[in-house]
Structure 1
């Protein structure tokens, strides 16, 4: 059983690491994975997500240091200000949504539809962005919309936080895929740290840390960090010369597969049966 638990932790860490920042939705993938690998605690889901966030922080540490230490430069102050505005919008709206008592979907069907609709949206966004000059600047308008987009992605698990924010930025005027992706990822760092920290403190307060398998937890964290680092580095190189169309097609196919599994009765139909991992992609928005 111990070996099986470790293998499951490794596999879930790999899935989280690959899907958290690629625009394909970690939620849908973790839901399917946990049908065979078993449910995991909220603490486990928080920890593997933290590993993915750490990986992105490492990748962008030079950029973050430039913004922090070079604040005297108007260009850096302006960019940092836009990151802060986007983060604050997400935090405020996220808290409002949480106070309203928003709950996760009762079954996998909404997530599957979000995957399909998100895929179609990505294709449209790429087409629309291609008609614009490849501007690399991030306007205040883009920053505001990205902040709102993070909340929308949390309210509709399956849309993908990274995908939604990247394409909102592109449609709002940032024609460069690289510039839109960088801003989306940089906004996601404080947002997801804050959300994960909040949830972890809440879990500790509620006594949810009792009985945790710390070995599996540690392994999953390390695996998630390493795999996310590789995935994001690959993505950043890929988008230099390629569109996101392949991800959009994958989402549509995967969403259709998920709908088929629901129709055939292979997926849970209620929250009582749904795996805890369904909250993974939602948590960064609703709790911040």
Structure 2
């Protein structure tokens, strides 16, 4: 992976991490289009630069992270389902990362779902706070996003709205939940890379690439978060739904025509 490829992928990550369109799916598509070799470092890079993006949440919402311990306890409760399922299903998730067809199908189905979300949950309570029970259920919703192409942001926001949270409250809790979830995923993937027979060598050769990727993802994500909250309040999810449908249909069409989009 070159520095330019890393920057492009990091920009895609920063834009898409907190939008309901799947950051992982978009990075897999981008890597396929760029022809990036899917070696152990690339797999680790794809997950690890999400850490740079989630740091933007801590910076933008730093006052919220200085609240009572109850705030962190609720995040821990919501994080536990992903921690357990992610650890047990790590190898299967890695295999799914290599399939553009999986991303294409989940992009399409997720897009269709987003067309109806606002109508299904229009009776939302604007000021309801997240309870421990809410947090646990949202945590299970988030686990659906372990399938590439299923947006973690969309899954957890929809989970929050299903628990009668407003779009804004659900989105903000999704941002907060990203911090422990993606920090754990990034750390675990980095540890697996280090323990790989050639891991230390790959880290030394690509440390600059990894640092630049995280910095770019951090900067772009800060802009994306502010833009997304404003857009979501005014317009809801339908635009993102149509976007996902179009991207999914294009990918499926290209794959059925024999265009090689396989991540190698």
| TM > 0.5 fold call | yes
Shift of residue 147 of structure 1?
0.9
Contact 2:23-2:151 within 8 A present in 1 as well: yes
For residue 241 of structure 1, give the secondary structure of its aligned residue in structure 2.
helix
Q: Corresponding residue for 2:160?
A: 169
- Runs of at least 5 residues in structure 1 that lack an aligned partner in the other structure: 72-76, 276-288
Q: How does 1:190-229 map to 2 (within 5 A)?
A: 190-206=180-196, 207-211=198-202, 212-229=205-222
Indicate the residue corresponding to 2:17 in structure 1. Answer: 20
Cα deviation code 1:170-201 (max 9, x no counterpart): 02221x11100111111110111011111112
Paired residue for 1:284? none
Q: Does 1:88 align with 2:80?
A: yes
Residues 202-211 or 14-23, more deviating = 202-211
Indicate the residue corresponding to 2:50 in structure 1.
49
- State the match for 2:7 in structure 1: 10
Distance between the aligned counterparts of 1:250 and 1:150, measured in 2?
21
1:31 aligns with 2:28: yes
User: How does 1:198-277 map onto structure 2 within 5 Å?
Assistant: 198-206=188-196, 207-211=198-202, 212-268=205-261, 273-275=262-264
Does 2:147 correspond to 1:152? no
In 1, the alpha carbon distance for the partners of 2:259 and 2:180 equals: 37
Offset of residue 135 of structure 1: 4.5
**SS, match of residue 213 in structure 1:** helix
Q: TM-score, normalised by structure 2?
A: 0.87
Cα RMSD of the aligned pairs, angstroms, is 2.2
2:82–2:140 Cα contact (<8 Å) kept: yes
Matched position secondary structure for 2:233: coil
Q: Is the 8 Å Cα contact of residues 166 and 184 (structure 1) preserved in structure 2?
A: yes
User: Do the aligned partners of 2:48 and 2:187 also contact (CA within 8 Å) in 1?
Assistant: no
Contact 2:29 2:100 in 1 (8 A): no
Cα gap change, 1:118 to 1:7, in 2 (>3 Å)? same
Corresponding residue pairs, total: 256
Q: Retained in 2: the 8 A contact 1:43–1:209?
A: no
1:9-34 Cα deviation digits (max 9, x unpaired):
22111111111121111233222222
Residues 133-161 of structure 1, C-alpha deviation per residue, up to 9 Å, x if partnerless?
Answer: 4353223332122111222210x211110
